Amino acid sequence: MTTPKPPVQAEVLRIAALARLVLSDAEAEAMTPELAEILAHVAKLEEVDVTGVEATAHAVGFATPLRDDVSRPGLDLERALANAPERIGDGFGVPKILE
Protein backbone atom coordinates (compact mmCIF):
# COMPACT_ATOMS: atom_id res chain seq x y z
CA MET A 1 0.00 0.00 0.00
CA THR A 2 1.12 3.56 -0.51
CA THR A 3 1.54 6.27 2.06
CA PRO A 4 -1.39 8.68 2.23
CA LYS A 5 -1.08 12.33 1.20
CA PRO A 6 0.05 14.66 4.01
CA PRO A 7 -2.75 16.42 5.90
CA VAL A 8 -3.87 19.93 5.00
CA GLN A 9 -4.41 22.54 7.69
CA ALA A 10 -8.07 21.70 8.28
CA GLU A 11 -7.11 18.07 8.79
CA VAL A 12 -4.37 19.03 11.25
CA LEU A 13 -6.99 20.88 13.29
CA ARG A 14 -9.31 17.85 13.13
CA ILE A 15 -6.54 15.49 14.28
CA ALA A 16 -5.58 17.89 17.07
CA ALA A 17 -9.20 17.93 18.23
CA LEU A 18 -9.16 14.11 18.37
CA ALA A 19 -6.21 14.48 20.77
CA ARG A 20 -8.18 17.09 22.76
CA LEU A 21 -5.82 19.85 21.68
CA VAL A 22 -6.95 23.18 20.35
CA LEU A 23 -4.37 24.85 18.12
CA SER A 24 -4.25 28.57 17.35
CA ASP A 25 -4.29 29.53 13.66
CA ALA A 26 -0.59 30.38 13.90
CA GLU A 27 0.20 26.99 15.47
CA ALA A 28 -1.77 25.10 12.83
CA GLU A 29 -0.17 27.14 10.05
CA ALA A 30 3.32 26.34 11.33
CA MET A 31 2.59 22.70 12.08
CA THR A 32 1.06 21.75 8.73
CA PRO A 33 4.27 22.03 6.62
CA GLU A 34 6.36 20.57 9.49
CA LEU A 35 4.15 17.48 9.57
CA ALA A 36 4.26 17.26 5.78
CA GLU A 37 8.08 17.29 5.88
CA ILE A 38 8.22 14.65 8.61
CA LEU A 39 5.66 12.45 6.84
CA ALA A 40 7.61 12.79 3.58
CA HIS A 41 10.66 11.40 5.37
CA VAL A 42 8.62 8.65 6.99
CA ALA A 43 7.41 7.61 3.52
CA LYS A 44 10.86 5.99 3.12
CA LEU A 45 9.41 2.98 4.90
CA GLU A 46 7.43 2.19 1.73
CA GLU A 47 10.71 0.97 0.21
CA VAL A 48 10.98 -1.84 2.76
CA ASP A 49 9.51 -5.23 1.93
CA VAL A 50 7.66 -6.25 5.08
CA THR A 51 5.79 -9.19 3.56
CA GLY A 52 5.44 -11.91 6.18
CA VAL A 53 7.30 -9.88 8.84
CA GLU A 54 5.63 -9.89 12.24
CA ALA A 55 5.25 -6.61 14.14
CA THR A 56 7.39 -5.83 17.20
CA ALA A 57 5.46 -4.19 20.03
CA HIS A 58 8.15 -4.70 22.68
CA ALA A 59 11.77 -5.55 21.87
CA VAL A 60 12.44 -7.69 24.91
CA GLY A 61 9.43 -9.97 25.05
CA PHE A 62 8.22 -11.01 28.46
CA ALA A 63 4.76 -12.35 29.17
CA THR A 64 2.66 -10.03 31.30
CA PRO A 65 3.42 -11.18 34.84
CA LEU A 66 0.61 -12.15 37.18
CA ARG A 67 0.55 -11.71 40.94
CA ASP A 68 -1.66 -13.16 43.62
CA ASP A 69 -5.04 -11.46 43.79
CA VAL A 70 -4.73 -10.06 47.29
CA SER A 71 -5.53 -6.57 48.45
CA ARG A 72 -2.68 -4.39 49.62
CA PRO A 73 -2.41 -0.77 50.67
CA GLY A 74 -2.24 1.81 47.88
CA LEU A 75 -1.91 5.57 47.81
CA ASP A 76 -3.95 7.01 50.71
CA LEU A 77 -6.85 9.34 49.96
CA GLU A 78 -5.17 12.59 51.04
CA ARG A 79 -2.03 11.99 48.97
CA ALA A 80 -4.09 10.86 45.97
CA LEU A 81 -6.14 14.08 46.11
CA ALA A 82 -3.29 16.42 47.03
CA ASN A 83 -2.63 17.47 43.42
CA ALA A 84 -6.27 17.68 42.34
CA PRO A 85 -7.14 20.96 40.60
CA GLU A 86 -10.60 20.71 42.22
CA ARG A 87 -11.67 18.53 45.10
CA ILE A 88 -15.27 17.75 46.01
CA GLY A 89 -15.45 15.84 49.28
CA ASP A 90 -13.38 12.70 48.81
CA GLY A 91 -13.37 12.92 45.02
CA PHE A 92 -12.11 14.88 42.04
CA GLY A 93 -14.28 17.74 40.90
CA VAL A 94 -14.94 18.12 37.16
CA PRO A 95 -16.88 20.66 35.09
CA LYS A 96 -20.38 19.85 33.83
CA ILE A 97 -20.26 16.75 31.59
CA LEU A 98 -23.78 16.86 30.08
CA GLU A 99 -25.08 20.02 28.46
Partner 1 sequence: MTALCDLSLTALSRALARGEHESSAATEACLARAADTKGLGAYLLIDAEGARRQAAAADLRCRAGQRLGPLDGVPLALKDIFLTAGLKTTCGSRILEDFVAPYDATVVRRLKDAGAVVLGKLSMDEFAMGSSNEHCAFGPAKNPWDPTRVPGGSSGGSAVAVASGSAFAALGTDTGGSIRQPAALCGVVGLKPTYGRVSRYGVIAFASSLDQVGPITKDVSDCALLLETIAGHDPKDSTSAPVLAASATEGLEAGVKGLKLGVPKEYFVAGIDPEVRTAVERAIATYAGLGADIVEVSLPHTEYAIATYYLIATAEASSNLARYDGVRFGLRRDPGRGVRDMYLQTRARGFGPEVKRRIVLGTYVLSAGYYEAYYDRAQKVRTLIRRDFAAAFAKADLLVTPTSPTPAFRLGARLADPLQMYLADIFTVGCNLAGIPGLSLPCGFANDGMPIGLQLLGPAWSEATLTRAGRAYEREHDWSRRRPPLARP
Tell me which residues touch partner 1 (CB under 8 A): 1-4, 7, 12, 15-24, 27, 30-31, 34-35, 37-38, 41-48, 50, 53-60, 62, 64-65, 67, 75, 79-80, 82-86, 92, 94-97, 99
What is d(CA 12, CA 28) in angstroms, rounded to the nearest whole number?
Answer: 7
- Minimum gap (Å) between residue 87 Cβ and partner 1: 10
- Minimum gap (Å) between residue 50 Cβ and partner 1: 4
What is d(CA 62, CA 59) in angstroms, rounded to the nearest whole number?
Answer: 9
- Minimum gap (Å) between residue 82 Cβ and partner 1: 6
Burial class for 12, CB neighbours closer than 10 Å (0-12, 13-18, 19+) = buried
The vertex-9 CA angle with 47 and 21, nearest 5°, equals: 100
